[in-house]
Amino acid sequence: MLLSKALKMQLDTEDRKNKVIIKGLEDKIKELETFLKEKDILLQTAEGSLAESRSQNTKLSEELNEARSILDESSRRFD
């Protein structure tokens, strides 16, 4: 009987210990999931900014080419 109680107490202690470990792991997983969601949002924002920058770069390149054409034409007329 005494041995049975000692074994039960030992099992109960192990169960509590395991529950604490599992809770800690669950909390860490939730923390990592939150961190990944935040990183994903930042990545999506950066991708949007990159796309916008590329679009502006294309537009500015076209404007620069137009300005060069006008300058070349004006230069030819001046000569």
If pLDDT is split at 50, 70 and 90, which confidence band does 3 have?
confident
**What pTM was computed for the model?**
0.60
If pLDDT is split at 50, 70 and 90, which confidence band does 75 have?
confident
What is the residue whose two structure tokens read 């529950």? 19
**Which H or E run contains 16?**
helix 2-78
For residues 4 and 34, the model is more confident at 34
What is the residue whose two structure tokens read 């300058």? 71
- Asked whether the CA dihedral 6, 8, 14, 20 is positive or negative, the reply is negative
Structure tokens at 57: 């770069």
**Which H or E run contains 47?**
helix 2-78
Residue 71 DSSP symbol: H
